[in-house]
């Protein structure tokens, strides 16, 4: 996520803004910038890369008392200087955190009005729109009020208008923004860590509220421009706690972001119409075979992508771990698309597999989180997930965002291959819309899964079983558990147990059985009964309420289209793994021996 800081007060603003940006570095970023007013002129400095590159171009003693700063996690457009914030058009200079979903149509409108753009960011478009509105409204607050009715999507803006060098402005929708107050002046910030060096007194700006901030006053207006009173809150805690937004671990914070991440990822490519999917995915039409290549959890998303695409689009899919694929004989041809999945976009084995396919002139598509990463840059095409910066080594929100992309690709290919008809498409589109709420409901039910974790966390081995897509889900659930709790956990195809592994089942061995595929449900139930009869402690994860109680605990998954069910199913198991690891006092965000991105072979 991007980081925002602004200051207006009695002291020089550059040191405060830079220290605020440094406190936000944990959010991850790829460029940084600052804008400040000096002699009634707005000066902008911005650099690609780390904040030190920006600091090297600044005079910290500059006589300036109003400024805004930004660390950018690229969502639209490469990580480079021209796309870095702040952006300026006419009298308006802004920094932004979020995604303006209707920026493309706004841009066309503004181009028709003669606006030109230096960057390919949604933020510069938003800035031009403010300039455009201001020409009619001729009043800053009225311009901002109008803007909140036009901008769609998530945004937190820090705003300077050169017609008013005595005030800093801010508006937000969905993306967080606080206003902090101190004896030396007032701040805006994406979250508390940015201002903790100066104050712990802050106000939460709510959606569509507008803030006008001077060096000794804070005025907040609602969307009708009526002034409203807001409570001043006090943050009691360390910088570290603040960075986790109050959660104990980044992993738990990121699990809790999955409803928003799903929405941000889907909405970027899909407005509910098949036409929007055609606009984004029609390049897939020509392929007759797909290879999905990745590592770890990204590989597990590929296994799910395989089940979905083969069953709903009738296209054969081969899924391989990149460390094998890079050395094996590949039977691909001009009708094959090689899809590389990678959160970091820097995993060495996946990058090597990409380069191998390109050397063989095979088309490549990357599904990546980090914009401008090596895999993103070198693939022929890239689809970005909108997970924001993922800090915990154990991936959660990026994993489910990758699944969201596979769900969209499956929906598109299924429809154009006439396997998904209009009727099913309508139901499926409705289910896409329901997903953020369903994800949130599961997350809010976390105590259920924590209670189950409290029963099994002392076990030395915990098994997962499933058939078909449920086996792929169980592989990810097992990896989550073992990588953060260090418990020996294995995922087995449920039908394979009788061929050897059932000998491992002892009394009270926890077996987490995933059964969401209706076609295979009865088969999986009979496998569950096999382990139950040998003393296993069965935790059933299913979207069907069984008639008889052949299980010890039940995690019920809400009804949703099978193309989306794997996203809901993994979330309770992420939470269960988290609580098992917490009960075992493990280092959840930084598990032993692991790195967030494996950039070596």
Contact 321/299 with Cβ under 8 angstroms?
yes
Shortest approach of ligand AGP to residue 349 CB, angstroms? 8
Contact 23/16 with Cβ under 8 angstroms?
no
What residues from 344 to 363 belong to the interface with ligand AGP (CB under 6 A)? 344, 347, 350
Nearer to ligand AGP, 349 or 517 (CB): 349
Question: Under the criterion CB under 6 A, does residue 597 sit at the interface with ligand AGP?
Answer: yes
Beta-strand relationship, 168-173 and 336-342: unpaired
Question: Under the criterion CB under 6 A, does residue 298 sit at the interface with ligand AGP?
Answer: yes
Beta-strand relationship, 201-204 and 87-89: unpaired
Shortest approach of ligand AGP to residue 301 CB, angstroms? 9
Nearer to ligand AGP, 298 or 494 (CB): 298
Question: Under the criterion CB under 6 A, does residue 483 sit at the interface with ligand AGP?
Answer: yes
Question: Under the criterion CB under 6 A, does residue 516 sit at the interface with ligand AGP?
Answer: no
Each residue 9-48 as x (binds ligand AGP by CB under 6 A) or -, in order, gives: ----------------------------------------
* Stretch of residues binding ligand AGP (CB under 6 A), selected from 16-24, 54-62, 290-298, 307-315: 290-298
Nearer to ligand AGP, 264 or 483 (CB): 483
Neighbours of 4 (CB within 10 A): 33
Contact 363/336 with Cβ under 8 angstroms?
yes
Contact pick of 337, 389, 394, 571 for ligand AGP (by CB under 6 A): 394
- Which residues participate in catalysis according to the annotation? 2, 596
Nearer to ligand AGP, 400 or 524 (CB): 400
Question: Under the criterion CB under 6 A, does residue 1 sit at the interface with ligand AGP?
Answer: no
Q: Is 391 helix (H, G, I), strand (E, B) or coil?
A: coil
Q: Is 582 helix (H, G, I), strand (E, B) or coil?
A: helix
* Stretch of residues binding ligand AGP (CB under 6 A), selected from 4-12, 219-227, 233-241, 295-303: 295-303
Shortest approach of ligand AGP to residue 322 CB, angstroms? 8
Question: Under the criterion CB under 6 A, does residue 342 sit at the interface with ligand AGP?
Answer: yes
Cis peptide before 86 (omega within 30 of 0): yes
* Stretch of residues binding ligand AGP (CB under 6 A), selected from 107-115, 278-286, 289-297, 463-471: 289-297
Question: Under the criterion CB under 6 A, does residue 512 sit at the interface with ligand AGP?
Answer: no
User: What does the block give as tokens for 548?
Assistant: 């008889």
* Stretch of residues binding ligand AGP (CB under 6 A), selected from 9-17, 97-105, 235-243, 389-397: 389-397
Question: Under the criterion CB under 6 A, does residue 489 sit at the interface with ligand AGP?
Answer: no
Question: Under the criterion CB under 6 A, does residue 574 sit at the interface with ligand AGP?
Answer: no
Question: Under the criterion CB under 6 A, does residue 320 sit at the interface with ligand AGP?
Answer: no
Question: Under the criterion CB under 6 A, does residue 395 sit at the interface with ligand AGP?
Answer: yes
Nearer to ligand AGP, 98 or 296 (CB): 296
Question: Under the criterion CB under 6 A, does residue 343 sit at the interface with ligand AGP?
Answer: yes
The Cα 262–Cα 281 span in angstroms is 18
Residue by residue, DSSP assigns 512-535 as EEEE--GGGHHHHHHHHHHHHTTT
Nearer to ligand AGP, 182 or 597 (CB): 597
Number of residues that bind ligand AGP (CB under 6 A): 15
Contact pick of 393, 428, 469, 565 for ligand AGP (by CB under 6 A): 393
Shortest approach of ligand AGP to residue 376 CB, angstroms? 11
Q: Is 172 helix (H, G, I), strand (E, B) or coil?
A: strand
Question: Under the criterion CB under 6 A, does residue 491 sit at the interface with ligand AGP?
Answer: no
Q: Do you know the residue count of the chain?
A: 601
Q: Is 45 helix (H, G, I), strand (E, B) or coil?
A: strand
* Stretch of residues binding ligand AGP (CB under 6 A), selected from 169-177, 338-346, 448-456, 511-519: 338-346
Selection from 173, 4, 152 nearest residue 72 by Cα: 4
Radius of gyration for the chain, computed over Cα atoms and rounded to the nearest angstrom: 25
Contact pick of 175, 186, 190, 297 for ligand AGP (by CB under 6 A): 297
User: What does the block give as tokens for 588?
Assistant: 């959840």
Shortest approach of ligand AGP to residue 394 CB, angstroms? 4
**Per-state percent for the chain, helix, strand, coil, to nearest 5:** 40, 25, 35
Question: Under the criterion CB under 6 A, does residue 598 sit at the interface with ligand AGP?
Answer: yes
Nearer to ligand AGP, 89 or 391 (CB): 391
Question: Under the criterion CB under 6 A, does residue 296 sit at the interface with ligand AGP?
Answer: yes
Nearer to ligand AGP, 208 or 567 (CB): 567
The Cα 520–Cα 493 span in angstroms is 12
The Cα 55–Cα 89 span in angstroms is 24
Selection from 26, 99, 45, 32 nearest residue 71 by Cα: 32
User: At 465, which helix (H) or strand (E)?
Assistant: strand 461-466
Spatial neighbors of 480 by CB under 8 A, at least 6 apart, are 297, 394, 396, 573, 574, 577
Beta-strand relationship, 185-189 and 3-9: antiparallel
Question: Under the criterion CB under 6 A, does residue 542 sit at the interface with ligand AGP?
Answer: no
Shortest approach of ligand AGP to residue 478 CB, angstroms? 11
User: At 3, which helix (H) or strand (E)?
Assistant: strand 3-9
Nearer to ligand AGP, 456 or 484 (CB): 484
CA 428 from chain centre, in angstroms, equals: 22
Shortest approach of ligand AGP to residue 484 CB, angstroms? 8
Backbone angles phi, psi at 171, to 5 degrees: -140, 155
Residue with smallest beta-carbon separation from ligand AGP? 296
Residue by residue, DSSP assigns 10-21 as SS-HHHHHHHHH
Shortest approach of ligand AGP to residue 319 CB, angstroms? 14
Q: Is 157 helix (H, G, I), strand (E, B) or coil?
A: strand
The Cα 383–Cα 326 span in angstroms is 22
The Cα 578–Cα 96 span in angstroms is 32
Spatial neighbors of 215 by CB under 8 A, at least 6 apart, are 8, 9, 10, 65, 166, 185, 186
Shortest approach of ligand AGP to residue 190 CB, angstroms? 24
Beta bridge partners of 289: 336
Binding residues (CB under 6 A) for ligand AGP: these are 295-298, 342-344, 347, 350, 393-395, 483, 597-598
């Amino acid at each position: 996520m991007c980081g925002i800081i602004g200051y207006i007060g009695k002291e020089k603003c550059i040191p405060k803004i830079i220290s605020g940006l440094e406190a936000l570095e944990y959010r991850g970023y790829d460029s940084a910038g600052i804008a400040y007013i000096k002699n009634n002129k707005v000066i902008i400095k911005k650099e690609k890369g780390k904040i030190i590159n920006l600091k090297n171009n600044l005079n910290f003693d500059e006589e300036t008392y109003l400024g805004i700063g930004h660390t950018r996690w690229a969502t639209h457009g490469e990580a480079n200087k021209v796309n870095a914030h702040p952006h300026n058009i006419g009298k308006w200079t802004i920094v932004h955190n979020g995604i303006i979903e209707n920026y493309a149509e706004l841009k066309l409108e503004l181009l028709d009005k003669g606006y030109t753009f230096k960057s390919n960011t949604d933020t510069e478009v938003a800035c031009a729109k403010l300039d455009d509105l201001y020409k009619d409204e001729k009043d800053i607050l009225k311009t901002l009020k109008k803007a909140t009715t036009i901008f769609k999507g998530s945004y937190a803006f820090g705003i300077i208008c050169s017609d008013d060098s005595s005030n800093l402005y801010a508006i937000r929708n969905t993306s967080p923004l606080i206003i902090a107050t101190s004896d030396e002046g007032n701040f805006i910030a994406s979250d508390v860590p940015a201002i903790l060096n100066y104050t712990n007194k802050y106000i939460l700006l709510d959606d569509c509220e507008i803030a006008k901030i001077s060096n000794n006053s804070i005025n907040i207006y609602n969307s009708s421009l009526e002034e409203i009173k807001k409570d001043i809150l006090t943050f009691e805690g360390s910088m570290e706690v603040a960075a986790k937004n109050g959660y104990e671990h980044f992993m738990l914070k990121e699990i809790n972001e999955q409803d928003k991440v799903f929405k941000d990822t889907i909405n970027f490519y899909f407005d509910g119409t098949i036409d929007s999917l055609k606009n984004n995915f029609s390049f897939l039409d020509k392929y007759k075979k797909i290879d999905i290549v990745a590592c770890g959890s990204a590989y597990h998303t590929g296994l799910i992508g395989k089940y979905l695409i083969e069953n709903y689009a009738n296209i054969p899919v081969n899924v391989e771990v990149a460390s094998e694929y890079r050395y094996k004989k590949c039977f691909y041809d001009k009708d094959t698309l090689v899809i590389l999945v990678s959160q970091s976009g820097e995993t060495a084995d996946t990058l090597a597999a990409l380069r191998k396919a390109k050397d063989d002139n095979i088309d490549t598509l990357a599904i990546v989180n980090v914009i401008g990463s090596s895999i993103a840059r070198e693939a022929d095409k890239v689809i970005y997930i909108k997970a924001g910066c993922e800090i915990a080594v154990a991936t959660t929100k990026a994993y489910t965002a990758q699944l969201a992309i596979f769900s969209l690709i499956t929906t598109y290919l299924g429809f154009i291959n006439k396997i998904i008809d209009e009727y099913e498409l309508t139901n499926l589109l409705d289910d896409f819309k329901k997903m953020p709420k369903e994800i949130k409901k599961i997350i809010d039910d976390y105590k259920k899964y924590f209670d189950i974790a409290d029963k099994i966390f002392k076990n030395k081995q915990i098994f997962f079983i499933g058939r078909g897509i449920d086996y792929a889900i169980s592989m990810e659930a097992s990896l989550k558990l073992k990588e953060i709790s260090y418990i020996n956990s294995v995922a087995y195809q449920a039908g394979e147990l009788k061929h050897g592994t059932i000998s491992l089942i002892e009394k009270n061995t926890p077996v987490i059985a995933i059964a969401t595929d209706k076609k295979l449900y009865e088969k999986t139930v009979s496998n569950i009964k096999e382990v139950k009869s040998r003393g296993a402690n069965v935790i059933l994860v299913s979207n069907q309420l069984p008639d008889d109680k052949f299980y010890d605990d039940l995690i019920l998954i809400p009804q949703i289209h099978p193309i989306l069910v794997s996203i809901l199913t993994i979330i309770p198991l992420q939470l269960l793994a988290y609580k098992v690891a917490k009960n075992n006092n493990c280092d959840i965000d930084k598990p032993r021996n692991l790195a967030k991105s494996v950039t070596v072979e």
